Chains A and B, each alone.
Chain A
Amino acid sequence: MVKATADWSERSHDLSRLLARAGLGDRAAFATLYERTSPHLFAVVLRINRDRAQAEDILQEVYVNVWRAASGFDAAQSQPLTWLTSIARNRAIDSLRRLQTQPRMRASGAPADGRESEDDDVYDTVADDAPGPLDLLSRAAEARALAACLDQLSATQRQSVALAFFQGLSHAEIAAQMREPLGTIKSWLRRSLAALKSCLQSAVQREGH
């Protein structure tokens, strides 16, 4: 098995126990769980919502929810790190979708319109030299059995997957960013995901699980 996948499962293994303890109301276990997972979840949230103050609020909501839901976590259904990361991404994406009705929203890493009128301390963004979504996708590919699967996608398909997954962009936002019709983006993504799925499934079968 490829190393990063093993790391993911290994970390999950320890986290299962912490989550089970937290589910019983054990605050010390929950604090340890926070210590071990919050830098990852915060980074995931910040990729999607780059406003640091908002990202902190989201992180707070995520962990309050985790505390409430910990006893319902089902280790048979999902790995803890997958579960936690999903909650964090969902909250971050929800925050973006809500922002879409507000003037301050911006679609991507590009500077927001009218940003010069914002107080930079309030609008504290991630450093611009942070790796882009495609860099992250290729890093992920190095680490995972995904490499071969991602290779099968065209460059534009890969870009649409990276923008959707790492930046939390909607179909319309990806279409705007890539200057392609909405319908084209939708079918690229649908085909990319179907290809990834079948490719990953046969990779798993090859590993003999």
Chain B
Amino acid sequence: MDYGRSDLAEALAADYVIGTMAGGARRRFEALLPAHVELRRATSAWQERLMPLTAAIDPVQPRGEVWRRISDRLDRRRSVVAGAWHRLSFWRSLTGFASVAAIGLAVLLASPRPTAPPIVVVLAPTGAAASGTSAAPIVASISGDGATLVTRPIVPVAAQPDRSLELWAVPRDGTSPRSLGVLPSGSGATVALRGKVLAGVDTLAVSVEPQGGSPTGKPTGPIVYAGKFSL
């Protein structure tokens, strides 16, 4: 079957998401998802359409026991998880937080493949009027694999009291920017790790948003910092 055909993908995804697809077909469908972009697209579109219906269901508090069981299972996985923390330590160390020894350990534990060097992006002020932004740039470093991003203002930044500064990944194909989160005020570093969120992206930008970030998921205020890069 040609799963790239959008009418077929639509019908299958709708059947899957609403839940009527039979057991064997569900498993086949799930197995097809990773390889078929059209199916994935149709599936997430149907999920976005239908899942808000569940907001009508009254919440039910699970027993505390359930969290204890989840927590126990995660403890047993701790050795695997250590990799992720050491990876984080590695990038922190580049901004001066961790020791050289930690880098060695992190590389040993987390990098079976050679680690590509990080990319540094300078986000220069755009000159758009906004108090709290300064003439000094914000620096972002992106891990070689594009999975980790650390931003750090050169001088402390602060938006107006009822505003937040939000960081965006801007795709080069002109599609909507993706939020990488709200920058903390002051000089703190932020870490965003979002899987493949930087794929196809060639610009990082910071916009002024209502406190807590854009309510729409897209930039709503002026872009006050921006920087181009290539992965």
**Contact residue range for chain B?**
35 or more
Q: Contact partner of A56 among B53, B62, B215, CB < 8 A?
A: B62
Main secondary structure of the interface of A (DSSP, over half): helix
20 contacts between A and B (CB under 8 A): A9-B215, A17-B182, A20-B194, A24-B193, A27-B74, A31-B67, A47-B57, A64-B73, A72-B195, A74-B194, A74-B195, A77-B44, A78-B48, A82-B51, A89-B19, A140-B54, A143-B56, A144-B52, A196-B49, A197-B10
A59 interface residue (CB < 8 Å to B): yes
Closest Cβ–Cβ distance, residue B55 to chain A (whole Å): 5
Q: Which chain B residues numbered 179 to 224 have a C-beta less than 8 Å away from chain A? A: 179, 181-182, 191-197, 212-217
A83 cross-chain contacts in B, Cβ below 8 A: 47
A86 to B48, CA, bound (A): 9
Number of A-B contacts (CB under 8 A): 190
Residues B84 and A71 in contact, CB atoms below 8 Å apart = yes
Q: Mark B1-28, 1 if CB is under 8 A from A, else 0.
A: 0000000001100100111111100100
A74 to B193, CA, bound (A): 10
Q: Mark A1-23, 1 if CB is under 8 A from B, else 0.
A: 00011111110011011001001
Residues B53 and A170 in contact, CB atoms below 8 Å apart = no
A132 to B213, CA, bound (A): 37
Residues A193 and B14 in contact, CB atoms below 8 Å apart = yes
Residue positions of A touching B, CB distance < 8 A: 4-10, 13-14, 16-17, 20, 23-25, 27, 30-31, 34, 38-40, 42-44, 46-48, 56, 59-60, 63-64, 67, 71-79, 81-83, 85-86, 89-90, 93-94, 97-98, 100, 130-131, 136-137, 139-140, 143-144, 146, 161, 164-166, 168-171, 174, 189-190, 193, 196-197, 200, 209
